[in-house]
């Protein structure tokens, strides 16, 4: 009995040792195993709001227009009417050039125009009636003289013969009287010699007249006919004294004189240099007494409207267009946005940088901005109103798919949910599909999460 009892005890001891060894290398009994840990996370509610997609650039504010003004005419500066900082409107006087010489040239040009116009008007008025009448009388006289030679009547022929016979008789009588005393000395000095000479001349004249009337020679007739032709041409010239070329030259003379007057008037009008646009006088170079002219800048005028030129990369230029909304910020006014817009887009890229120059116009009704300020420009590409938004930190990616972790209703676990994304700004992402307003999502601690994981909310963002 004692021996059997000892063997039983040894067997129980051995079983206890085996059982003890098995427990030291196997699983801990369920009743004493530790629970799965809860992941600390931060969460936020899915909400709605406005979101915009923008491109950000920077550049310097510059005047929309900057121009160094020069006087069109040259001369001594008589008056400077502006100072740096003065605001001017288009047409306001800037300076005056001494104008005595230019006004004298204008008067001279106006007088020349008056003469040219008078000459043209004289031509247009036509010839004077008395000139035409005198020319007609000349034609009639020349024709009468020709007809008097070529159409001699019997009576005219008888008279001409009688006049010739009378002259011949007088010549014979004078010759007879002279013959009586010619033997005496110095006969040529006597009255008889003088009478003979006069009678000879009278006879020759009568003979020539008779011959011309009764038997005109070819030369005489040609001369008379030429006289008639000259008289007729004089009449034609009196009736139509000017050709088409004469009128053209006269009109050209008037036009030339008008051009001279216009130039002189232009010079007089521009002795006062005026502002070509509304703006501010940035600098004044001219002084009274100095010489002004086209080669000498007088003042620098800048517009009050400002703009920024930015360079857009080639891969983004397709998103930029004229009239596109934009916003501008400057360090001088932190937290304030100035409305802006795209004024122009360069049609070609820079050959070196391959960027496109874009000009941004600025709306600055309060006139706060100044040329030379450094500005940050945001170009609005797209915007949504009442979009479903989550913080950017709430979205992660698994297998190329954007996902979020949605907190369960009891806020104990999370569910992995794929989503579709929309616009993105600095803080938020638009969710176009996969979430509803009011759901809670994890915003921090995502790296330690998996689908169905238990969580411990440490921070809640509203």
Q: With bands split at pLDDT 50, 70 and 90, how would you rate the model's confidence at 210? A: low
Position 36 confidence tier, pLDDT thresholds 50, 70, 90: low
pLDDT the model gives residue 149: 62
CA torsion angle 321 325 331 335 (round to 10):
-150
Closest to 365 (Cα-Cα) out of 348, 332, 340: 340
Q: Pseudo-torsion of CA 370, 374, 380, 386, nearest 10°?
A: -90
Taking every pair of Cα atoms in the chain, the longest distance, rounded to a whole number of angstroms, is 240
For 64-73, 178-187, 225-234, which range has the lowest pLDDT when averaged over its residues?
178-187
Q: According to the model, what pLDDT value does residue 203 have?
A: 77
**Region of residue 148 (phi > 0: left; psi between -120 and 50: alpha; otherwise: beta):** alpha
**Residue 28: is it exposed, middle or buried by C-beta count within 10 angstroms (0-12/13-18/19+)?**
exposed
Sign, CA torsion 205/209/214/220: positive
pLDDT tier at 270, thresholds 50, 70, 90: very high
Instruction: Check residues 236 and 258 and name the one with the higher pLDDT.
Output: 258
Q: How confident is the model at residue 243 (pLDDT cuts 50, 70, 90)?
A: confident
pLDDT at 364: 86
CATH of domain 306-461: 2.40.30.170
358-372 residue pLDDT tens: 999 998 888 899 889
Per-residue pLDDT at 151 exceeds 80: no
276 band by pLDDT with thresholds 50, 70 and 90: very high
Q: Any idea which of 19-33, 142-156, 387-401, 405-419 has the lowest mean pLDDT?
A: 19-33
b/e burial code for range 345-354 (CB count within 10 A of at least 16 → b): eeeebeeeee
**For the chain, domain boundaries:** 69-97+271-302, 105-126+245-268, 129-241, 306-461
Q: Which residue has the higher pLDDT, 185 or 451?
A: 451
Please report the pLDDT score of residue 35 as a whole number.
59
Highest mean pLDDT: which range of 218-222, 230-234, 390-394: 390-394
Tally of CA atoms within 13 A in the half-sphere of 390 that contains its CB? 33
CA torsion angle 194 197 203 209 (round to 10): -110
Determine the Cα–Cα distance for residues 133 and 231; give it in Å rounded to an integer: 12
Q: What is the mean pLDDT of residues 71-76?
A: 95
The residue that leads in pLDDT, 47 or 207, is 47
- For residue 426, pLDDT over 60 is answered with yes
Q: Answer yes or no: is pLDDT of 76 > 70.
A: yes
Tell me what pLDDT residue 14 has: 40
Average pLDDT score, the chain: 84
At residue 83, the pLDDT reads 95
- What's the pLDDT at 37? 83
pLDDT score of 176 more than 50:
yes
Mean pLDDT of 148-154: 60
DSSP secondary structure string, 258-290?
A: HHHHHHHHHHHHTTEEE-SSSEEEEEE---TTS
**pLDDT score, position 17:** 39
The closest alpha carbon to 384, from 423, 429, 431, belongs to 423
In the chain, helix, strand, coil percent, each to 5? 40, 30, 25
The model's pLDDT over 434-453, given as tens digits with 9 standing for 90+, comes to 999 989 999 998 888 889 99
Domain 69-97+271-302 has CATH 2.40.50.100: yes
User: For residue 2, what pLDDT band results from cuts at 50, 70 and 90?
Assistant: very low
């Amino acid at each position: 009995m004692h021996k059997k009892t000892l063997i039983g005890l040894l067997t129980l001891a051995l079983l206890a040792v085996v059982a003890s060894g098995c427990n030291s290398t196997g699983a801990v009994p369920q009743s004493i195993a530790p629970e799965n840990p809860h992941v600390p996370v931060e969460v936020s509610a899915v909400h709605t709001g406005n979101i915009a997609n923008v491109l950000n650039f920077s550049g310097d504010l510059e005047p929309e227009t900057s121009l160094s003004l020069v006087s069109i005419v040259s001369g001594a500066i008589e008056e400077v009417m502006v100072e740096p900082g003065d605001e001017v409107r288009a047409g306001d006087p800037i300076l005056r050039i001494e104008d005595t010489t230019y006004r004298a040239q204008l008067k001279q040009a106006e007088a020349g125009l008056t003469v040219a116009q008078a000459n043209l008007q004289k031509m247009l008025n036509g010839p004077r009636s008395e000139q035409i009448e005198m020319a007609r009388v000349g034609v009639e006289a020349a024709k009468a003289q020709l007809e008097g030679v070529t159409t001699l009547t019997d009576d005219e022929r008888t008279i001409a013969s009688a006049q010739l016979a009378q002259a011949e008789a007088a010549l014979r009588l004078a010759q007879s009287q002279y013959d009586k005393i010619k033997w005496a000395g110095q006969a040529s000095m006597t009255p008889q010699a003088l009478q003979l000479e006069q009678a000879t001349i009278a006879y020759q004249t009568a003979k020539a007249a008779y011959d011309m009337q009764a038997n005109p020679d070819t030369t005489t007739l040609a001369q008379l006919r030429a006289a008639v032709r000259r008289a007729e041409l004089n009449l034609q010239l009196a009736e139509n004294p000017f050709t088409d070329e004469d009128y053209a030259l006269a009109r050209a003379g008037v036009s030339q004189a008008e051009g001279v007057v216009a130039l002189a008037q232009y010079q007089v009008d521009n002795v006062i240099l005026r502002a070509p646009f509304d703006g501010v006088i940035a600098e004044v170079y001219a002084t009274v007494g100095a010489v002004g002219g086209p080669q000498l800048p007088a003042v620098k005028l800048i517009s009050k409207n400002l703009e920024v030129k930015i360079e857009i990369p080639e891969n983004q230029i397709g998103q930029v267009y004229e009239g596109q909304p934009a916003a501008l910020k400057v360090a001088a006014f932190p937290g304030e946005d100035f409305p802006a817009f795209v004024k122009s887009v360069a049609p070609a890229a820079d050959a070196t940088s391959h960027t496109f120059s874009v000009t941004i116009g600025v709306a600055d009704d309060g006139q706060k901005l100044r040329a030379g300020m450094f500005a940050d420009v945001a170009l609005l590409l797209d915007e949504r109103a009442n979009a479903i938004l989550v913080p950017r930190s709430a979205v992660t990616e698994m297998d190329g798919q954007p996902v979020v972790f949605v907190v369960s209703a009891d806020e104990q676990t999370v569910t992995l949910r794929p989503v579709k994304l929309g616009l993105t700004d600095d803080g938020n992402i638009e969710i176009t599909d996969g979430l509803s307003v009011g759901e809670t999502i994890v915003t921090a601690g995502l790296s330690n999460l998996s689908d169905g994981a238990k969580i411990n909310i440490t921070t809640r963002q509203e």
